[in-house]
Structure 1
Amino acid sequence: MGLLSHGSPLSWEETKKYADHVRQHGITQFLNIYHKVKERQKDVLKWGDEVEYMLVAFDHENHKVQLVLNGEEMLDVLQGRGEKINPSHPTLWRPEYGSYMIEGTPGQPYGGTMSEFNTVEENMSERRQEASSLLTDNVSICTITSFPRLGCLGFTLPEFQPTPVEHGASKSLFFPDEAINKHPRFSTLTRNIRHRRGEKVAINVPIFKDRNTPSPFIERFANDPGNEAKAALPDHIYMDAMGFGMGNCCLQVTFQACSISEARYLYDQLATICPIVMALSAAAPFYRGYVSDIDCRWGVISASVDDRTKEERGLEPLKNDKYQISKSRYDSIDSYLSTCGEKYNDLDLTIDKEIYSQLTREGIDHLLAQHIAHLFIRDPLTLFEEKIHLDDANESDHFENIQSTNWQTMRFKPPPPNSDIGWRVEFRPMEVQLTDFENSAYVVFVVLLTRVILSYKLDFLIPLSKVDENMKAAQKRDAVREGMFYFKKDICKAGIPAVDGCSPAVNGTEDETEEYTLMSIDTIINGKVMS
Structure 2
Amino acid sequence: MGLLSLGTPLEWAEATKLAAHIRKHGIDQFLSVWRAAKDRSGDPVLWGDELEYMVVVFDPVQHTARLSLRQGEILRVLQSAHSPLFAALPAAQRPTFHPEYGRYMIESTPGEPFSASADDLLRVELDMLRRRCFAKQHLREHEVPMTVTSFPRLGATDAPFTDPALTAGGDAARSLFLPDDLINQHVRFPTLTANIRKRRGTKVRINVPIFHDTHTPRPFVDPTIPHARNTFPEDSEAALGAALPDHIYMDAMGFGMGCNCLQVTFQAANATEARRVYDQCTPLTPLFLAITAAAPIYRGYVADVDARWNVISASVDDRTNAERGTAPLRDEPKHNADTAPRRLRKSRYDSVDSYLYPGAPPEDNDMPLEMDLSVRDKLLAAGIDPLLAEHLAHLFVRDPLVIFSELVDVDNTTSMDHFENIQSTNWQTMRFKPPPLGGHIGWRVEFRPMEVQLTDFENAAFSIFVVLLSRVMLHFNTDFYMPLSLVDENMQRAQQRDAIHTQRFYFRRHWAPDAESTERIGEYTLAELFWGRDAAMPGLIPLVRRYLDELALAPEQRAELDRYIAFIGERANGTLMTTATWMRRFVHSHPQYKHDSVVSEKINYDMLCTLNKIERGELAVPDFLPPWYAERHRTMERTLGVPSL
Residue in 2 that maps onto 1:260? 271
Map residues 169-188 of structure 1 onto 2, 5 A cutoff: 169-188=172-191
Give the letter aligned to residue 125 of structure 1: L
The answer as to whether partners of 1:414 and 1:423 remain within 8 angstroms in 2 is yes
Q: In 2, Cα distance between the equivalents of 1:82 and 1:152?
A: 38
The answer as to whether partners of 1:82 and 1:91 remain within 8 angstroms in 2 is no
Is 1:363 aligned with 2:383? yes
Is 1:62 aligned with 2:81? no
Residue in 1 that maps onto 2:436? 416
The answer as to whether partners of 2:280 and 2:481 remain within 8 angstroms in 1 is yes
Residue in 2 that maps onto 1:18? 18
Give the letter aligned to residue 395 of structure 1: S
Q: In 2, Cα distance between the equivalents of 1:87 and 1:96?
A: 24
The correspondence for 1:517, drawn from 511, 519, 522, is: 522
Q: In 1, Cα distance between the equivalents of 2:9 and 2:208?
A: 32
Give the letter aligned to residue 36 of structure 2: K
SS in 2 for 1:420: coil
The answer as to whether partners of 2:276 and 2:356 remain within 8 angstroms in 1 is yes
Q: Per the alignment, do residues 391 and 529 of structure 1 end up closer, same or farther by CA in structure 2, a change over 3 Å counting?
A: closer
Give the letter aligned to residue 28 of structure 2: T
Q: In 2, Cα distance between the equivalents of 1:27 and 1:317?
A: 30
Residue in 1 that maps onto 2:507? 487
SS in 2 for 1:49: strand
SS in 1 for 2:181: helix
Residue in 2 that maps onto 1:112? 116
Q: How many residues align?
A: 511
Cα displacement (A) at 1:438: 0.3
Q: In 1, Cα distance between the equivalents of 2:397 and 2:133?
A: 43
Residue in 2 that maps onto 1:246? 257
Is 1:427 aligned with 2:447? yes
SS in 1 for 2:103: coil
Deviations 1:205-226 (A, max 9, x none): 0000011100000123234334
Residue in 1 that maps onto 2:163? 157
Residue in 2 that maps onto 1:526? 531
Is 1:219 aligned with 2:250? no
As a proportion of its length, which structure holds more helix? 2
Q: In 2, Cα distance between the equivalents of 1:135 and 1:181?
A: 18
Is 1:88 aligned with 2:92? yes
The answer as to whether partners of 1:217 and 1:236 remain within 8 angstroms in 2 is yes
Give the letter aligned to residue 217 of structure 1: F
Residue in 2 that maps onto 1:97? 101
- Please give the TM-score of this superposition, normalised by the length of structure 2: 0.78
Give the letter aligned to residue 426 of structure 1: E
Judge which range, 143-152 or 314-323, deviates more.
314-323
The unaligned stretches of length 5 or more in structure 1 are: 494-504
Cα displacement (A) at 1:79: 1.5
The answer as to whether partners of 2:196 and 2:318 remain within 8 angstroms in 1 is yes
Q: Per the alignment, do residues 9 and 82 of structure 1 end up closer, same or farther by CA in structure 2, a change over 3 Å counting?
A: farther
Q: In 1, Cα distance between the equivalents of 2:81 and 2:407?
A: 29
Cα displacement (A) at 1:369: 0.2
Deviations 1:85-135 (A, max 9, x none): 996251111110000001000010001211000000000001001111111
Is 1:33 aligned with 2:33? yes
Q: In 1, Cα distance between the equivalents of 2:82 and 2:371?
A: 43
Deviations 1:116-160 (A, max 9, x none): 000000000010011111112211010000000000131000000
The unaligned stretches of length 5 or more in structure 2 are: 335-340, 536-645
Cα displacement (A) at 1:342: 3.8
Give the letter aligned to residue 524 of structure 1: L
Give the letter aligned to residue 144 of structure 1: V
- Please give the TM-score of this superposition, normalised by the length of structure 1: 0.94
Deviations 1:306-331 (A, max 9, x none): 00001111111213352210000000
Q: In 2, Cα distance between the equivalents of 1:485 and 1:109?
A: 33
Q: In 1, Cα distance between the equivalents of 2:104 and 2:34?
A: 38
Map residues 77-476 of structure 1 onto 2, 5 A cutoff: 77-81=77-81, 88-153=92-157, 154-163=160-169, 168-220=171-223, 221-222=225-226, 223-225=228-230, 226-229=235-238, 230=240, 231-319=242-330, 320=332, 322-343=341-362, 344-476=364-496
Q: In 1, Cα distance between the equivalents of 2:10 and 2:313?
A: 24
Cα displacement (A) at 1:11: 1.8
Deviations 1:390-445 (A, max 9, x none): 11001101000000000000000000001111000000000000000000000000
Task: State the structure with more CA Rg.
Answer: 2
Q: In 2, Cα distance between the equivalents of 1:48 and 1:414?
A: 16
Q: In 1, Cα distance between the equivalents of 2:82 and 2:366?
A: 48
Residue in 1 that maps onto 2:45? 45
The answer as to whether partners of 1:487 and 1:516 remain within 8 angstroms in 2 is yes
Give the letter aligned to residue 146 of structure 2: C
SS in 2 for 1:412: strand
Q: In 2, Cα distance between the equivalents of 1:285 and 1:173?
A: 21
The answer as to whether partners of 1:82 and 1:89 remain within 8 angstroms in 2 is no
Give the letter aligned to residue 373 of structure 1: A
Cα displacement (A) at 1:81: 2.9
Q: In 1, Cα distance between the equivalents of 2:175 and 2:406?
A: 30
Cα displacement (A) at 1:529: 7.5
Cα displacement (A) at 1:7: 1.1
Q: In 1, Cα distance between the equivalents of 2:4 and 2:74?
A: 18
Give the letter aligned to residue 522 of structure 2: T
Cα displacement (A) at 1:339: 2.4
Q: Per the alignment, do residues 438 and 147 of structure 1 end up closer, same or farther by CA in structure 2, a change over 3 Å counting?
A: same
Cα displacement (A) at 1:482: 1.5
Cα displacement (A) at 1:82: 6.8
Of all paired residues, the percent bearing the same amino acid is 53
SS in 1 for 2:52: strand
The answer as to whether partners of 1:217 and 1:234 remain within 8 angstroms in 2 is yes
The answer as to whether partners of 2:361 and 2:481 remain within 8 angstroms in 1 is no
The answer as to whether partners of 2:256 and 2:308 remain within 8 angstroms in 1 is yes
Map residues 487-506 of structure 1 onto 2, 5 A cutoff: 487-493=507-513, 505=514
Q: In 1, Cα distance between the equivalents of 2:316 and 2:448?
A: 16
Deviations 1:168-217 (A, max 9, x none): 11000001011101111111110000000001000000000011100000
The answer as to whether partners of 2:295 and 2:306 remain within 8 angstroms in 1 is yes
Residue in 1 that maps onto 2:8? 8
Cα displacement (A) at 1:356: 0.5
SS in 2 for 1:254: strand
Q: In 1, Cα distance between the equivalents of 2:172 and 2:9?
A: 13
The answer as to whether partners of 2:268 and 2:444 remain within 8 angstroms in 1 is yes
Residue in 2 that maps onto 1:499? none
SS in 2 for 1:75: helix
Q: In 1, Cα distance between the equivalents of 2:146 and 2:492?
A: 28
Give the letter aligned to residue 163 of structure 2: L
Give the letter aligned to residue 168 of structure 2: P
SS in 2 for 1:453: helix
Q: In 2, Cα distance between the equivalents of 1:78 and 1:302?
A: 31
